Protein backbone atom coordinates (compact mmCIF):
# COMPACT_ATOMS: atom_id res chain seq x y z
CA UNK A 1 0.00 0.00 0.00
CA UNK A 2 1.41 3.40 -0.98
CA UNK A 3 1.72 6.29 1.49
CA UNK A 4 -1.11 8.11 -0.31
CA UNK A 5 -3.40 5.05 -0.16
CA UNK A 6 -2.59 4.56 3.54
CA UNK A 7 -3.38 8.22 4.29
CA UNK A 8 -6.68 7.87 2.44
CA UNK A 9 -7.54 4.78 4.46
CA UNK A 10 -6.79 6.54 7.76
CA UNK A 11 -8.88 9.58 6.73
CA UNK A 12 -11.79 7.40 5.68
CA UNK A 13 -11.61 5.52 8.96
CA UNK A 14 -11.56 8.72 11.01
CA UNK A 15 -14.63 9.98 9.14
CA UNK A 16 -16.30 6.63 9.80
CA UNK A 17 -15.54 6.95 13.52
CA UNK A 18 -17.21 10.37 13.68
CA UNK A 19 -20.25 9.29 11.68
CA UNK A 20 -20.82 5.98 13.45
CA UNK A 21 -20.17 7.29 16.93
CA UNK A 22 -22.21 10.39 16.26
CA UNK A 23 -25.26 8.18 15.92
CA UNK A 24 -24.77 6.79 19.40
CA UNK A 25 -22.95 9.39 21.45
CA UNK A 26 -23.13 12.63 19.50
CA UNK A 27 -20.66 13.84 16.90
CA UNK A 28 -19.42 16.71 19.05
CA UNK A 29 -18.54 14.29 21.88
CA UNK A 30 -16.49 12.15 19.49
CA UNK A 31 -14.71 15.20 18.11
CA UNK A 32 -13.79 16.19 21.65
CA UNK A 33 -12.52 12.70 22.42
CA UNK A 34 -10.32 12.70 19.33
CA UNK A 35 -8.27 15.64 20.52
CA UNK A 36 -5.30 14.28 22.51
CA UNK A 37 -2.50 11.78 23.89
CA UNK A 38 0.31 11.73 26.47
CA UNK A 39 2.74 14.62 26.20
CA UNK A 40 3.74 16.32 29.45
CA UNK A 41 2.66 13.66 31.94
CA UNK A 42 3.36 9.94 31.88
CA UNK A 43 4.25 7.10 34.35
CA UNK A 44 7.07 5.06 35.96
CA UNK A 45 10.82 4.86 35.36
CA UNK A 46 12.49 2.20 33.17
CA UNK A 47 15.59 2.38 35.35
CA UNK A 48 13.91 0.11 37.93
CA UNK A 49 10.98 -1.47 36.11
CA UNK A 50 10.39 -4.36 38.51
CA UNK A 51 10.38 -2.18 41.63
CA UNK A 52 8.14 0.44 40.08
CA UNK A 53 5.78 -2.23 38.73
CA UNK A 54 5.41 -4.05 42.07
CA UNK A 55 4.83 -0.82 43.98
CA UNK A 56 2.35 0.49 41.44
CA UNK A 57 0.32 -2.72 41.71
CA UNK A 58 -0.45 -1.83 45.29
CA UNK A 59 -0.89 1.94 45.04
CA UNK A 60 -2.26 2.49 41.51
CA UNK A 61 -5.86 1.94 40.56
CA UNK A 62 -6.24 1.01 36.89
CA UNK A 63 -9.64 0.68 35.24
CA UNK A 64 -11.51 0.84 31.95
CA UNK A 65 -15.10 2.07 31.92
CA UNK A 66 -17.85 1.70 29.32
CA UNK A 67 -15.90 0.25 26.37
CA UNK A 68 -17.78 0.28 23.04
CA UNK A 69 -16.77 -2.22 20.34
CA UNK A 70 -18.45 -2.26 16.94
CA UNK A 71 -17.47 -5.85 16.10
CA UNK A 72 -15.53 -8.84 17.44
CA UNK A 73 -12.30 -7.52 15.94
CA UNK A 74 -12.74 -4.14 17.59
CA UNK A 75 -13.16 -5.99 20.91
CA UNK A 76 -9.63 -7.34 20.38
CA UNK A 77 -8.37 -3.81 19.78
CA UNK A 78 -9.94 -2.61 23.02
CA UNK A 79 -8.42 -5.56 24.89
CA UNK A 80 -5.04 -4.54 23.48
CA UNK A 81 -5.71 -1.00 24.67
CA UNK A 82 -6.36 -2.34 28.18
CA UNK A 83 -3.04 -4.22 28.17
CA UNK A 84 -1.27 -1.05 27.08
CA UNK A 85 -3.04 1.00 29.76
CA UNK A 86 -1.91 -1.45 32.42
CA UNK A 87 1.68 -1.40 31.14
CA UNK A 88 1.56 2.41 30.91
CA UNK A 89 0.38 2.78 34.50
CA UNK A 90 3.07 0.39 35.77
CA UNK A 91 5.86 1.88 33.70
CA UNK A 92 6.35 -1.51 32.05
CA UNK A 93 8.24 -0.63 28.86
CA UNK A 94 9.02 -4.29 28.11
CA UNK A 95 5.34 -5.14 27.68
CA UNK A 96 4.50 -1.81 26.06
CA UNK A 97 7.19 -2.31 23.43
CA UNK A 98 5.64 -5.58 22.18
CA UNK A 99 2.49 -3.67 21.20
CA UNK A 100 4.24 -0.91 19.24
CA UNK A 101 4.63 -1.03 15.47
CA UNK A 102 8.23 -0.60 14.27
CA UNK A 103 7.19 2.56 12.44
CA UNK A 104 5.08 4.02 15.24
CA UNK A 105 4.91 7.78 15.75
CA UNK A 106 3.65 10.27 18.29
CA UNK A 107 3.45 14.04 18.48
CA UNK A 108 5.19 15.73 21.39
CA UNK A 109 2.90 18.58 22.41
CA UNK A 110 5.65 20.25 24.41
CA UNK A 111 8.25 20.47 21.64
CA UNK A 112 5.68 20.47 18.81
CA UNK A 113 7.71 17.78 17.03
CA UNK A 114 6.77 14.42 15.54
CA UNK A 115 8.63 11.48 17.13
CA UNK A 116 9.22 8.71 14.58
CA UNK A 117 10.17 5.04 15.08
CA UNK A 118 9.73 2.53 17.91
CA UNK A 119 13.05 3.25 19.63
CA UNK A 120 12.52 7.01 19.57
CA UNK A 121 8.99 6.61 20.96
CA UNK A 122 10.22 4.25 23.69
CA UNK A 123 12.93 6.72 24.68
CA UNK A 124 10.30 9.44 24.84
CA UNK A 125 8.10 7.25 27.05
CA UNK A 126 11.04 6.28 29.26
CA UNK A 127 11.78 9.94 29.95
CA UNK A 128 8.12 10.65 30.74
CA UNK A 129 7.64 7.52 32.87
CA UNK A 130 10.21 8.76 35.39
CA UNK A 131 7.87 11.51 36.50
CA UNK A 132 5.10 9.04 37.39
CA UNK A 133 7.32 6.57 39.26
CA UNK A 134 6.41 6.01 42.94
CA UNK A 135 9.47 8.06 43.90
CA UNK A 136 9.11 10.51 41.01
CA UNK A 137 8.04 14.14 40.96
CA UNK A 138 4.46 13.20 40.04
CA UNK A 139 3.69 9.77 41.59
CA UNK A 140 0.77 8.06 39.88
CA UNK A 141 -2.16 7.13 42.13
CA UNK A 142 -4.66 6.00 39.46
CA UNK A 143 -4.98 5.67 35.70
CA UNK A 144 -8.28 5.21 33.88
CA UNK A 145 -9.53 4.99 30.31
CA UNK A 146 -13.15 6.00 29.77
CA UNK A 147 -15.51 5.26 26.88
CA UNK A 148 -12.95 3.63 24.57
CA UNK A 149 -14.43 3.32 21.07
CA UNK A 150 -12.76 1.22 18.36
CA UNK A 151 -13.60 1.28 14.67
CA UNK A 152 -11.92 -1.30 12.44
CA UNK A 153 -11.45 -1.04 8.68
CA UNK A 154 -9.47 -3.97 7.28
CA UNK A 155 -6.15 -4.15 9.11
CA UNK A 156 -6.41 -0.62 10.51
CA UNK A 157 -8.24 0.52 13.65
CA UNK A 158 -8.91 3.97 15.06
CA UNK A 159 -9.55 4.21 18.81
CA UNK A 160 -10.75 7.22 20.76
CA UNK A 161 -11.02 7.46 24.54
CA UNK A 162 -10.55 9.76 27.51
CA UNK A 163 -7.58 8.96 29.75
CA UNK A 164 -7.47 10.20 33.32
CA UNK A 165 -4.78 10.26 35.99
CA UNK A 166 -4.71 11.06 39.68
CA UNK A 167 -1.34 12.40 40.79
CA UNK A 168 -0.15 12.24 44.39
CA UNK A 169 2.91 13.64 46.10
CA UNK A 170 3.37 17.15 47.43
CA UNK A 171 1.17 18.76 44.77
CA UNK A 172 -1.67 16.34 44.00
CA UNK A 173 -3.98 16.94 41.06
CA UNK A 174 -6.14 15.24 38.44
CA UNK A 175 -5.51 15.44 34.69
CA UNK A 176 -7.41 14.34 31.60
CA UNK A 177 -6.39 13.51 28.05
CA UNK A 178 -8.62 13.10 24.98
CA UNK A 179 -6.75 10.48 22.98
CA UNK A 180 -6.75 9.18 19.41
CA UNK A 181 -4.82 5.97 18.73
CA UNK A 182 -4.28 4.23 15.41
CA UNK A 183 -3.57 0.49 15.40
CA UNK A 184 -2.47 -1.87 12.62
CA UNK A 185 -2.86 -5.64 12.60
CA UNK A 186 0.16 -7.95 12.38
CA UNK A 187 -1.06 -11.52 12.07
CA UNK A 188 -3.40 -11.96 15.05
CA UNK A 189 -1.93 -9.08 17.03
CA UNK A 190 -2.88 -5.40 17.00
CA UNK A 191 -0.04 -2.92 17.42
CA UNK A 192 -0.10 0.83 17.98
CA UNK A 193 1.00 2.84 14.95
CA UNK A 194 0.30 6.39 16.14
CA UNK A 195 -1.10 8.24 19.12
CA UNK A 196 -1.91 11.86 19.78
CA UNK A 197 -3.28 13.83 22.69
CA UNK A 198 -2.69 16.50 25.28
CA UNK A 199 -2.94 16.33 29.06
CA UNK A 200 -4.73 19.11 30.95
CA UNK A 201 -5.40 19.57 34.65
CA UNK A 202 -9.02 19.19 35.70
CA UNK A 203 -8.76 19.47 39.46
| pLDDT score at 65 | 61
Q: Is the pTM of this model over 0.75?
A: no
In percent, the amount of the chain with pLDDT more than 70 equals 67
Q: Per-residue confidence at 199, pLDDT binned at 50, 70, 90?
A: confident
Query: In which element (H, E) is residue 65 found?
Result: strand 61-65
Q: How far apart are CA 123 and CA 159, in angstroms?
A: 23
Please check whether residue 144 is in contact with residue 81, taking contact to mean a CB–CB distance below 8 angstroms: no
Query: In which element (H, E) is residue 8 found?
Result: helix 3-25
Least confident of 19-23, 104-108, 154-158, 164-168: 19-23
User: Residue 24 class from Cβ within 10 Å (0-12 exposed, 13-18 middle, 19+ buried)?
Assistant: exposed
**SS3 at position 117:** coil
- Summarize pLDDT for 173-196 with one digit per residue, the tens: 999 999 999 999 999 999 999 998
Q: Calculate the CA 149 to chain-centre distance.
A: 12
| pLDDT score at 44 | 37
Count the Cβ atoms, other than its own, within 10 Å of residue 31: 15
The structural domains of the chain, ordered by start, are 3-201 (3.10.450.50)
Q: How far apart are CA 64 and CA 86, in angstroms?
A: 10
As a whole number, mean pLDDT of residues 59-76 equals 73
As a whole number, mean pLDDT of residues 161-183 equals 93
Please check whether residue 28 is in contact with residue 58, taking contact to mean a CB–CB distance below 8 angstroms: no
Amino acid sequence: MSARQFASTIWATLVSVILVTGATAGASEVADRAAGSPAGTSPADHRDTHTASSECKTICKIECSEPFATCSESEKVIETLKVLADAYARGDLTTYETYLDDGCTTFDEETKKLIVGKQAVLEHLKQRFQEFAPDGKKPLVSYTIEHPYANVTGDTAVVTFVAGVQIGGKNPYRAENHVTDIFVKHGDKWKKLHYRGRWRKVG
